[in-house]
Amino acid sequence: MEKDQEKQAFGKDTKPLPKNFEVTALGSLGLLALGHVGIIAWKKKRSEEELNNKTNNE
């Protein structure tokens, strides 16, 4: 779609999505919006955090 057509279709300039997205153990609505890829990334980060907490507490 041409830039002028995008303005007409959406009423404003569209911005590109970030290539890097920070995943936190708490999660976010953005991760949910990514679908199963976001859920997998969140579960991985959460398990890493739990493992780090276990090793730090011992």
Please say if the pLDDT value at position 49 is more than 90.
yes
- pLDDT at position 50: 92
- pLDDT at position 12: 60
| Residue 30 near residue 21 (C-beta atoms within 8 A) | yes
Q: What is the pTM of this model?
A: 0.58
For residues 30-36, average pLDDT:
84
Q: Residue 35 — very low, low, confident or very high, per pLDDT cuts 50/70/90?
A: confident
Q: 3-state DSSP call for residue 47?
A: helix
Please say if the pLDDT value at position 1 is more than 50.
no
What length is written for the chain? 58
Residue 7 is encoded by which pair of tokens? 């303005």
Residue 15 is encoded by which pair of tokens? 């911005």
Q: 3-state DSSP call for residue 7?
A: helix
For residues 35-47, average pLDDT:
89
